[in-house]
A = this chain, B = another copy of it.
Amino acid sequence: MSNPVDLLVEYGKRVDPVMEKYLLRNTHPDFADAVLYPIRMGGKRVRPALTILSALAVGGKAEDAYPAAAAVELAHNYSLILDDIIDHSELRRGLPTVWKKYGLSTAILVAVHYRESISEALNDTRNPRVFHEEMARTIKLLTDGERLDILFEQSGREDEPYVVDRRYRRVTLSEYLEMVEKKTGVLIETACVFGGLSVEGVEVKTLDALREYGRNVGVAFQVSDDIIDIFGREEKTGKKVGGDIKEHKLGNIVILLALEELGDESILRRILTKSDVLWEEVSLAINEIKKTGAYNKAEEVRRKYTRNALAALERLPDTPYRRMLEDLAIFIEKREF
Protein backbone atom coordinates (compact mmCIF):
# COMPACT_ATOMS: atom_id res chain seq x y z
CA MET A 1 0.00 0.00 0.00
CA SER A 2 1.36 3.42 -0.93
CA ASN A 3 1.52 5.88 1.91
CA PRO A 4 -1.84 7.67 1.94
CA VAL A 5 -0.24 10.62 3.66
CA ASP A 6 1.67 11.38 0.43
CA LEU A 7 -1.64 11.56 -1.40
CA LEU A 8 -3.07 13.74 1.33
CA VAL A 9 -0.17 16.15 1.00
CA GLU A 10 -1.21 16.82 -2.59
CA TYR A 11 -4.61 17.99 -1.41
CA GLY A 12 -3.33 19.82 1.63
CA LYS A 13 -0.71 21.84 -0.25
CA ARG A 14 -3.44 23.51 -2.29
CA VAL A 15 -4.30 25.73 0.64
CA ASP A 16 -0.80 27.20 0.98
CA PRO A 17 -1.53 30.17 -1.30
CA VAL A 18 -4.89 30.60 0.43
CA MET A 19 -3.21 30.79 3.83
CA GLU A 20 -0.66 33.24 2.46
CA LYS A 21 -3.41 35.47 1.14
CA TYR A 22 -4.97 35.85 4.58
CA LEU A 23 -1.64 36.06 6.40
CA LEU A 24 -0.55 38.95 4.19
CA ARG A 25 -3.81 40.87 4.51
CA ASN A 26 -3.46 44.01 6.67
CA THR A 27 0.19 43.14 7.23
CA HIS A 28 3.16 45.50 7.32
CA PRO A 29 5.82 44.46 4.74
CA ASP A 30 8.47 44.39 7.49
CA PHE A 31 6.43 41.76 9.28
CA ALA A 32 5.75 39.48 6.28
CA ASP A 33 8.81 37.25 6.66
CA ALA A 34 8.09 36.46 10.28
CA VAL A 35 4.42 35.87 9.49
CA LEU A 36 5.13 33.43 6.65
CA TYR A 37 7.93 31.59 8.46
CA PRO A 38 5.73 29.09 10.37
CA ILE A 39 3.89 27.79 7.31
CA ARG A 40 7.14 27.69 5.33
CA MET A 41 8.78 25.47 7.92
CA GLY A 42 6.92 22.56 6.36
CA GLY A 43 4.22 20.34 7.76
CA LYS A 44 2.21 17.58 6.15
CA ARG A 45 -1.02 19.60 5.83
CA VAL A 46 -3.04 16.63 7.05
CA ARG A 47 -5.79 18.82 8.48
CA PRO A 48 -6.63 20.91 5.38
CA ALA A 49 -6.44 17.71 3.31
CA LEU A 50 -9.05 16.21 5.62
CA THR A 51 -11.24 19.26 5.14
CA ILE A 52 -11.01 19.01 1.36
CA LEU A 53 -11.51 15.23 1.29
CA SER A 54 -14.49 15.53 3.61
CA ALA A 55 -16.07 18.08 1.30
CA LEU A 56 -15.45 15.79 -1.69
CA ALA A 57 -16.74 12.77 0.22
CA VAL A 58 -20.11 14.42 0.76
CA GLY A 59 -20.50 15.55 -2.84
CA GLY A 60 -18.93 19.02 -2.76
CA LYS A 61 -16.15 20.61 -4.77
CA ALA A 62 -12.63 20.94 -3.38
CA GLU A 63 -12.52 24.72 -3.95
CA ASP A 64 -15.60 25.25 -1.81
CA ALA A 65 -13.61 24.06 1.17
CA TYR A 66 -10.44 26.12 0.67
CA PRO A 67 -11.16 29.00 3.07
CA ALA A 68 -12.26 26.58 5.80
CA ALA A 69 -9.28 24.31 5.14
CA ALA A 70 -6.93 27.30 5.34
CA ALA A 71 -8.51 28.35 8.63
CA VAL A 72 -7.95 24.90 10.12
CA GLU A 73 -4.30 24.73 9.09
CA LEU A 74 -3.74 28.28 10.34
CA ALA A 75 -5.27 27.22 13.66
CA HIS A 76 -2.89 24.26 13.79
CA ASN A 77 0.10 26.56 13.19
CA TYR A 78 -1.23 29.08 15.71
CA SER A 79 -1.23 26.36 18.35
CA LEU A 80 2.26 25.17 17.38
CA ILE A 81 3.75 28.67 17.69
CA LEU A 82 2.31 29.00 21.19
CA ASP A 83 3.09 25.41 22.23
CA ASP A 84 6.73 25.93 21.34
CA ILE A 85 6.82 29.00 23.59
CA ILE A 86 5.06 27.14 26.40
CA ASP A 87 7.33 24.09 26.12
CA HIS A 88 10.54 26.13 25.58
CA SER A 89 11.09 24.09 22.38
CA GLU A 90 13.93 25.42 20.26
CA LEU A 91 13.54 23.17 17.22
CA ARG A 92 10.63 21.99 15.09
CA ARG A 93 11.15 19.90 11.97
CA GLY A 94 14.87 20.61 12.29
CA LEU A 95 14.42 24.40 12.17
CA PRO A 96 14.44 27.00 14.92
CA THR A 97 10.98 27.62 16.34
CA VAL A 98 9.41 31.03 15.84
CA TRP A 99 10.33 32.40 19.27
CA LYS A 100 13.86 31.02 18.95
CA LYS A 101 14.36 32.60 15.54
CA TYR A 102 12.70 35.98 16.09
CA GLY A 103 12.40 36.37 19.87
CA LEU A 104 9.50 35.98 22.27
CA SER A 105 7.68 39.28 21.56
CA THR A 106 7.70 38.73 17.83
CA ALA A 107 6.51 35.13 18.23
CA ILE A 108 3.57 36.30 20.33
CA LEU A 109 2.68 38.97 17.77
CA VAL A 110 2.94 36.42 14.95
CA ALA A 111 0.60 34.08 16.84
CA VAL A 112 -1.93 36.88 17.33
CA HIS A 113 -1.69 37.63 13.64
CA TYR A 114 -2.46 33.98 12.82
CA ARG A 115 -5.60 34.10 14.87
CA GLU A 116 -6.88 37.13 12.95
CA SER A 117 -6.06 35.47 9.65
CA ILE A 118 -8.21 32.54 10.76
CA SER A 119 -11.08 34.97 11.27
CA GLU A 120 -10.57 36.50 7.84
CA ALA A 121 -10.62 33.03 6.26
CA LEU A 122 -13.77 32.01 8.12
CA ASN A 123 -15.49 35.13 6.84
CA ASP A 124 -15.13 33.70 3.33
CA THR A 125 -16.94 30.46 4.16
CA ARG A 126 -20.55 29.69 3.26
CA ASN A 127 -21.86 30.55 6.69
CA PRO A 128 -19.38 32.61 8.72
CA ARG A 129 -21.42 32.61 11.91
CA VAL A 130 -21.52 28.81 12.12
CA PHE A 131 -17.83 28.46 11.27
CA HIS A 132 -16.80 31.14 13.78
CA GLU A 133 -18.81 29.42 16.50
CA GLU A 134 -17.26 26.05 15.76
CA MET A 135 -13.75 27.53 15.65
CA ALA A 136 -14.18 29.36 18.97
CA ARG A 137 -15.37 26.16 20.63
CA THR A 138 -12.51 24.22 19.05
CA ILE A 139 -9.76 26.60 20.15
CA LYS A 140 -11.18 26.85 23.68
CA LEU A 141 -11.12 23.05 23.93
CA LEU A 142 -7.62 22.95 22.43
CA THR A 143 -6.51 25.41 25.10
CA ASP A 144 -7.98 23.21 27.77
CA GLY A 145 -6.22 20.17 26.33
CA GLU A 146 -2.93 22.03 26.48
CA ARG A 147 -3.68 23.13 30.05
CA LEU A 148 -4.28 19.51 31.08
CA ASP A 149 -1.18 18.27 29.25
CA ILE A 150 0.89 20.77 31.23
CA LEU A 151 -0.77 19.83 34.52
CA PHE A 152 0.02 16.17 33.80
CA GLU A 153 3.76 16.95 33.80
CA GLN A 154 5.41 15.54 36.93
CA SER A 155 8.15 18.14 37.40
CA GLY A 156 9.40 21.49 36.07
CA ARG A 157 7.69 24.91 35.70
CA GLU A 158 8.59 25.76 39.29
CA ASP A 159 8.14 29.45 38.38
CA GLU A 160 4.54 28.84 37.28
CA PRO A 161 2.23 29.01 40.32
CA TYR A 162 -0.88 27.75 38.54
CA VAL A 163 0.93 24.59 37.43
CA VAL A 164 2.72 23.97 40.73
CA ASP A 165 -0.56 24.30 42.65
CA ARG A 166 -2.67 22.08 40.45
CA ARG A 167 -0.35 19.44 39.08
CA TYR A 168 -1.98 15.97 38.74
CA ARG A 169 -0.11 13.30 40.69
CA ARG A 170 -2.07 10.48 39.05
CA VAL A 171 -3.70 10.48 35.65
CA THR A 172 -6.33 7.90 34.78
CA LEU A 173 -6.81 6.55 31.28
CA SER A 174 -10.06 8.46 30.98
CA GLU A 175 -8.40 11.72 32.07
CA TYR A 176 -5.72 11.04 29.49
CA LEU A 177 -8.33 10.45 26.80
CA GLU A 178 -10.13 13.67 27.72
CA MET A 179 -6.86 15.57 27.37
CA VAL A 180 -6.05 13.97 24.02
CA GLU A 181 -9.51 14.49 22.60
CA LYS A 182 -9.17 18.17 23.39
CA LYS A 183 -5.52 18.63 22.47
CA THR A 184 -5.52 16.68 19.20
CA GLY A 185 -8.94 15.19 18.52
CA VAL A 186 -11.08 18.30 18.40
CA LEU A 187 -9.13 20.17 15.72
CA ILE A 188 -9.02 17.10 13.47
CA GLU A 189 -12.74 16.64 14.10
CA THR A 190 -13.29 20.28 13.13
CA ALA A 191 -11.17 19.81 10.00
CA CYS A 192 -13.63 17.13 8.85
CA VAL A 193 -16.77 18.96 9.95
CA PHE A 194 -15.59 22.11 8.15
CA GLY A 195 -15.37 20.07 4.95
CA GLY A 196 -18.97 18.99 5.37
CA LEU A 197 -20.17 22.45 6.31
CA SER A 198 -18.57 23.85 3.15
CA VAL A 199 -21.04 21.93 1.03
CA GLU A 200 -24.57 23.20 0.56
CA GLY A 201 -27.39 21.06 1.85
CA VAL A 202 -25.29 18.56 3.75
CA GLU A 203 -27.37 16.57 6.23
CA VAL A 204 -26.88 16.60 9.98
CA LYS A 205 -26.28 12.85 10.11
CA THR A 206 -23.52 13.23 7.51
CA LEU A 207 -21.88 15.96 9.59
CA ASP A 208 -22.14 13.69 12.62
CA ALA A 209 -20.39 10.89 10.76
CA LEU A 210 -17.57 13.23 9.74
CA ARG A 211 -17.33 14.52 13.30
CA GLU A 212 -17.07 11.00 14.71
CA TYR A 213 -14.54 9.94 12.11
CA GLY A 214 -12.37 13.02 12.77
CA ARG A 215 -12.39 12.79 16.53
CA ASN A 216 -11.53 9.10 16.53
CA VAL A 217 -8.81 9.46 13.93
CA GLY A 218 -7.41 12.36 15.93
CA VAL A 219 -7.17 10.36 19.15
CA ALA A 220 -5.69 7.37 17.30
CA PHE A 221 -3.15 9.71 15.78
CA GLN A 222 -2.08 11.05 19.17
CA VAL A 223 -1.89 7.57 20.71
CA SER A 224 0.25 6.60 17.76
CA ASP A 225 2.50 9.59 18.39
CA ASP A 226 2.83 8.61 22.04
CA ILE A 227 3.81 5.05 21.14
CA ILE A 228 6.38 6.33 18.66
CA ASP A 229 7.83 8.69 21.26
CA ILE A 230 8.71 5.72 23.46
CA PHE A 231 9.28 2.88 20.98
CA GLY A 232 10.22 4.71 17.78
CA ARG A 233 13.53 4.36 16.03
CA GLU A 234 15.65 7.47 15.81
CA GLU A 235 16.79 6.65 12.23
CA LYS A 236 13.15 6.68 11.20
CA THR A 237 11.69 9.57 13.20
CA GLY A 238 14.71 11.89 13.35
CA LYS A 239 13.97 12.44 17.03
CA LYS A 240 15.48 10.96 20.16
CA VAL A 241 13.21 8.38 21.76
CA GLY A 242 11.68 9.13 25.13
CA GLY A 243 11.36 12.91 24.75
CA ASP A 244 8.12 12.75 26.74
CA ILE A 245 9.94 11.09 29.65
CA LYS A 246 12.55 13.82 29.57
CA GLU A 247 9.73 16.37 29.69
CA HIS A 248 8.14 14.67 32.73
CA LYS A 249 4.93 13.90 30.81
CA LEU A 250 2.36 11.65 32.34
CA GLY A 251 0.19 12.67 29.39
CA ASN A 252 1.65 9.91 27.19
CA ILE A 253 -0.49 6.77 27.12
CA VAL A 254 2.48 4.40 27.25
CA ILE A 255 4.03 6.11 30.27
CA LEU A 256 0.67 6.27 31.96
CA LEU A 257 -0.17 2.58 31.44
CA ALA A 258 3.33 1.45 32.39
CA LEU A 259 3.16 3.41 35.60
CA GLU A 260 -0.17 1.83 36.50
CA GLU A 261 1.64 -1.52 36.52
CA LEU A 262 4.96 -0.40 37.97
CA GLY A 263 3.69 1.72 40.82
CA ASP A 264 5.40 4.45 42.83
CA GLU A 265 8.60 2.57 43.61
CA SER A 266 9.58 2.30 39.95
CA ILE A 267 12.55 3.82 38.18
CA LEU A 268 10.06 5.45 35.80
CA ARG A 269 8.21 7.30 38.55
CA ARG A 270 11.47 8.49 40.08
CA ILE A 271 12.83 9.74 36.76
CA LEU A 272 9.57 11.49 35.79
CA THR A 273 9.64 13.54 38.97
CA LYS A 274 13.33 14.49 38.80
CA SER A 275 13.95 18.11 37.88
CA ASP A 276 16.58 17.35 35.26
CA VAL A 277 16.44 14.05 33.41
CA LEU A 278 19.51 12.69 31.60
CA TRP A 279 19.14 10.73 28.35
CA GLU A 280 20.77 7.72 30.04
CA GLU A 281 17.99 7.78 32.60
CA VAL A 282 15.41 7.93 29.81
CA SER A 283 16.90 4.67 28.43
CA LEU A 284 16.64 3.05 31.85
CA ALA A 285 13.00 4.05 32.09
CA ILE A 286 12.24 2.74 28.60
CA ASN A 287 13.80 -0.62 29.47
CA GLU A 288 11.54 -0.78 32.47
CA ILE A 289 8.49 0.15 30.36
CA LYS A 290 9.32 -2.68 27.94
CA LYS A 291 8.78 -5.21 30.70
CA THR A 292 5.17 -4.09 31.18
CA GLY A 293 2.06 -4.65 29.08
CA ALA A 294 1.85 -0.92 28.28
CA TYR A 295 2.72 -1.34 24.62
CA ASN A 296 0.03 -3.92 23.97
CA LYS A 297 -2.56 -1.98 25.91
CA ALA A 298 -1.77 1.24 24.05
CA GLU A 299 -2.01 -0.60 20.74
CA GLU A 300 -5.40 -1.85 21.77
CA VAL A 301 -6.60 1.67 22.47
CA ARG A 302 -5.27 2.82 19.12
CA ARG A 303 -7.10 -0.04 17.36
CA LYS A 304 -10.33 0.76 19.15
CA TYR A 305 -10.29 4.38 17.98
CA THR A 306 -9.39 3.37 14.45
CA ARG A 307 -12.28 0.90 14.38
CA ASN A 308 -14.65 3.64 15.55
CA ALA A 309 -13.35 5.96 12.85
CA LEU A 310 -13.89 3.32 10.16
CA ALA A 311 -17.36 2.53 11.44
CA ALA A 312 -18.33 6.20 11.22
CA LEU A 313 -17.16 6.32 7.60
CA GLU A 314 -19.61 3.59 6.63
CA ARG A 315 -22.36 6.14 7.06
CA LEU A 316 -20.95 8.14 4.11
CA PRO A 317 -21.59 7.27 0.45
CA ASP A 318 -19.08 4.83 -1.02
CA THR A 319 -16.76 7.03 -3.11
CA PRO A 320 -13.03 7.11 -3.86
CA TYR A 321 -12.76 9.96 -1.34
CA ARG A 322 -14.28 7.86 1.40
CA ARG A 323 -11.73 5.18 0.57
CA MET A 324 -8.95 7.73 0.98
CA LEU A 325 -10.28 8.61 4.39
CA GLU A 326 -10.35 4.89 5.23
CA ASP A 327 -6.78 4.42 4.03
CA LEU A 328 -5.68 7.27 6.24
CA ALA A 329 -7.27 5.72 9.32
CA ILE A 330 -5.70 2.34 8.56
CA PHE A 331 -2.34 3.98 7.93
CA ILE A 332 -2.45 5.69 11.31
CA GLU A 333 -3.20 2.34 12.96
CA LYS A 334 -0.30 0.62 11.24
CA ARG A 335 2.05 3.60 11.27
CA GLU A 336 5.60 2.34 11.41
CA PHE A 337 8.10 3.33 14.00
Q: Which residues of A contact B (CB under 8 A)?
A: 25-28, 30-31, 34, 82, 85-86, 101-106, 108-109, 112-113, 115-117, 119-120, 122-123, 128-129, 132-133, 135-137, 139-141, 143-144, 146-147, 150, 157, 159-164, 166
Quick check: A163 and B105 within 8 Å, CB to CB?
Answer: yes
Residues from chain B with a CB closer than 8 A to the CB of A157 are 103, 105
Show 12 residue pairs from A and B whose CB-CB distance is below 8 angstroms, ordered by the A residue. A28-B144, A31-B144, A103-B157, A103-B159, A105-B163, A106-B147, A112-B143, A113-B143, A116-B139, A123-B133, A123-B136, A128-B129
For the complex, would chain A's binding face be called helix, strand, loop or mixed by DSSP majority? helix
A27 to B140, CA, bound (A): 7
B143 near A120 with CB under 8 A, answer no
Residues of B near A103 (CB, < 8 A) are: 157, 159-164
CB closest chain-B residue, reference A34: B162
Q: Which residue of B lies closest to A109 (CB)?
A: B143
Q: Identify which of A31, A82, A129, A136 gathers the most chain B CB atoms within 10 Å of its CB.
A: A136
The complex places the Cα of A140 from the Cα of B139 at a distance, in Å, of 19
Contact A105 B160 (CB under 8 A): yes
The 4 closest A-B pairs by CB, nearest first: A103-B160, A102-B162, A106-B162, A119-B136
Give the residue of B26, B86, B105, B135 whose beta carbon is less than 8 angstroms from that of A105. B86
- For A128, the chain B residues whose CB sits under 8 A away are 128-129, 132
